[in-house]
Amino acid sequence: MAEVRISGVRKSFGDVAVLHGIDTTIADGEFMVLLGPSGCGKSTLLRIVAGLEQQSAGDVSIGGRVVNDVEPKDRNIAMVFQNYALYPHLSVYDNMAYGLRVRGTPRPEIERRVQEAARILELGQLLQRKPRQLSGGQRQRVAMGRAIVRDPQVFLFDEPLSNLDAKLRVQMRIEIRRLHQSIRTTSIYVTHDQVEAMTLADRLIVMNAGHAEQVGAPLEVYERPASVFVAGFIGAPAMNLLRARVAGGRAMAGAAALPLPQAAGLGEGREIDWGVRPEHVELAPGAADADAEVAVDLVEALGADTLVHARLADGGALTLRLPGTTRVREGDRLPLRLPPAALHAFDAASGRRI
């Protein structure tokens, strides 16, 4: 069990800077997810924590000990790789036992720990198999077993589910969550899948182009995105964002006068990015109560929900997520209510939340 502290970590490969100073602390027992699009530096950060890459500047400490110059094997971490990285010539049992053997753990102790991990992960029947005789999900469980037997201070997961099919991914996601609830080891989990991030994380770090855009609990990040990038990245379908100017207490997006969120600092004439999530737009009972009116372009009926792609008077696109019972047809005009509490505003120049 340990706290992981990352302070001022930067990384450049030659002239290319990929991390521009990351500061964060992962509490003891916390499940932290690094979320971001590919190329944002999240895997690099994880590999720096693992000791597989050397940071260009800054400190990493695990359990209060600065580990900048400590070899990966001495950091007391375990890592689960995207492609599992199982030793192909060793059986499942030996794959899990290898790290313990290298460290000179007594044989009965190895036996006990491997059997325990196999029990937790339901690998008991497969211990004598070779990795190539296993399915993707089983291989991933062995990779996790290899991490568990070591009983490390920190688990590092590098996109462990992205090689699995959709159904298995959901199942493994739940297993990882359950595992963490039972053993409570500090975990850092890298993913580009926001559903994984939202469901697994105690807290998440949204990364973009080498910066930590926002650190917070999943719902906090969803409800109060700190920047336009986070707003657009978290949530599916993505938040509607419109360029607007504050005028007369309204956000003027072209010809449409939209309500403003309840926030300070929305002075007259300020350029903003105005945002609302598709699921927070409501249909108004009548044109008189409407905050805006849209013309429907396209309807995607998903059963539980109906996604409506629509346009404001002057052409600004708006996606709405309406209950599946709503019957809407292309070409309809819909009066909308935009509750101020569900609206977001970001500074147009900096992209930061207002």
Partner 1 sequence: MIDRRSGPDWFAHAVLWTGILVMAFPVYLTFIASTHEPSTIANGQMPLVPGDKLLETYWQTIFVGPTRTSRMPVGAMMVNTLVMALVIAIGKICISIVSAYAVVYFRFPFRRTAFWMIFMTLMLPVEVRIYPTYNVVASLGLLDTFAGLTVPLIASATGTLLFRQFFMTIPDELLEASKIDGAGPVRFFVDTVLPLSRTNIAALFVILFIYGWNQYLWPLLITTRADMQTIVIGIKKMIVTADALTEWQIVMATAMLAMIPPVAVVLLMQRWFVKGLVETEK
Task: Name the residues that contact partner 1, by CB under 8 A.
Answer: 50, 52, 71-73, 77-79, 81-83, 85-89, 98-99, 102-103, 132, 146, 150
CB of 150 to partner 1, least distance (A): 8
Q: Which positions ≥6 away from 240 have C-beta within 8 Å?
A: 275, 276, 277, 278, 281, 317, 318, 319
CB of 23 to partner 1, least distance (A): 25
Instruction: Specify the residue, 134 or 176, whose C-beta has the smaller distance to partner 1.
Output: 134
Instruction: Specify the residue, 75 or 321, whose C-beta has the smaller distance to partner 1.
Output: 75
CB of 79 to partner 1, least distance (A): 5
CB of 134 to partner 1, least distance (A): 11
Instruction: Specify the residue, 132 or 329, whose C-beta has the smaller distance to partner 1.
Output: 132
CB of 223 to partner 1, least distance (A): 37
Q: How far apart are the first and last CA of the chain?
A: 38
Instruction: Specify the residue, 82 or 162, whose C-beta has the smaller distance to partner 1.
Output: 82
CB of 72 to partner 1, least distance (A): 5
Instruction: Specify the residue, 104 or 269, whose C-beta has the smaller distance to partner 1.
Output: 104
Please give the structure tokens belonging to residue 61: 């400490």
CB of 203 to partner 1, least distance (A): 24
Instruction: Specify the residue, 81 or 222, whose C-beta has the smaller distance to partner 1.
Output: 81
Instruction: Specify the residue, 13 or 87, whose C-beta has the smaller distance to partner 1.
Output: 87
Please give the structure tokens belonging to residue 64: 């209060």
